Chains A and B, each alone.
Chain A
Amino acid sequence: MTSEETADRIERRREGLSHWKWLTGVWLILTAIIEPVIYFLIWPHLPPGNMTSSARGAQFDMMVLTMIAAPVMVAVLAYFAYALIVFRHPKGRPLVDGPPLRGNLRVQTAWITITSAIVMGAFVFGTYELIVPAGAGGAEGPSPIWTPASHTELPVQVIGQQWIWTYRYPTFGGFETTQLMLPNNTEIAFHVTSLDVIHSFWAYQLGVKADANPGVDDVAFTQTNQLGRITVRCSELCGIWHGAMYGYGEVVSPSAFETWAKAMERRLAPATRLLPPFAWTYTPSANGAGGGYYPQTDPYYDKTLYDQGRSGPEGNLPALRVEKSQRVG
């Protein structure tokens, strides 16, 4: 190697280093500004609020992901901005080729290592945040494995049907209503099911979402810890009135909830008697008023299904509280 070539190499290296210094400096300054902004200013306003344990968890996770993503995005954008300004081809000059860099083992190794580390970190964090807070308000299917430690959840059955949500409270005689009322400071177990097509129960402020599948009991847990109003929307396309399939609910104090539930149980007792016995899933009458998509002679099918509708599996039902006085008459 001639001394001229060596000098050239050193010169190029120095130039490269100065580019890196600039870039690192810009990145550090921007990151130092953005990270506190995310932590202090943006975190408290991130959705879905902190009305329940799962909502608060989702908010925290979103903050952490944003704190991870922001430096990455800043790095990439700063690099592009820098390169596009500094490395542009001056207008009007004859076309010259750039340096023939076909790769750089250190850069490539560093890239793969860093991205892998970020990804694995996000995975470990996400898994922890999923498992420890009992499924983080997400759907856990019919036999959840990550459950609240206390095992004192209030079961609330959410029934999706085209195109309205109804709720059954099995510990209050199994009455069914279109109002969603929840007691504060309570573990709630939502049992979401559907009578026809796939819906998705999205209680926005609760940080809960679970698909309502026909014939499936889909469980999601959360713990309320703030009073307030809830918006429920359907977030899986379910037909013409999907956009109008929303409703409101409320988290009230435990005593107010108790009063409301008992009053409803009493008031709705005649209607409750007409409902199918409480179960995790239901198979409605296939006849309906018109119905009749499948032939009634289907040998697979029980005739009672066509006439009355039927409850689904009944294993591990919560104890129904039956008060004698209501059953009279």
Chain B
Amino acid sequence: MASTGMKQGTNGWEPRIVAFFCNWCTYTAADLAGVSRLRHAPNARVIRVMCSGRLDPQFVLDAFARGADGVLVGGCHPGDCHYMEGNYKALRRVRLLQRMMKDMGIHEDRFRLEWISASEGEKVKTTINTMTERVRALGPLGLPERFAEWDEEMDGLAHAIAAQEEAVHA
């Protein structure tokens, strides 16, 4: 498949990254990055969940299906989960999901899990920056555009049917 599914050129395109951050470690670290004025790429959009264990693989797939170019998950370091073991469950799901997504052709750099503790504001900055750059290098994923483009193959038929109808009724 040569087509990237993108209608518009990549000029002016900015990667869009949906980030799921756990309340106790990574979201707090993102706040710390803010308080410390650690400026970073404006491409991540954070959704706060209480624990990375709340991460339903459907959220990740839905984000991609709705146009995300990357998905980032942030949780507490192993052993540090505010809820004891939620991050292990997240890790297990993410490993399987990553394999599944790779089989579906999505580049592994588009989906990342990072352990970021409440004190690692700096890591929030570098993680978002490096992820933005990697996704930028990959270009748009653009699933909604691809869906629309794929479905265009049905338009020809729709037009033909319409024309036929018109001929019958004329």
- Chain A bound to chain B: no
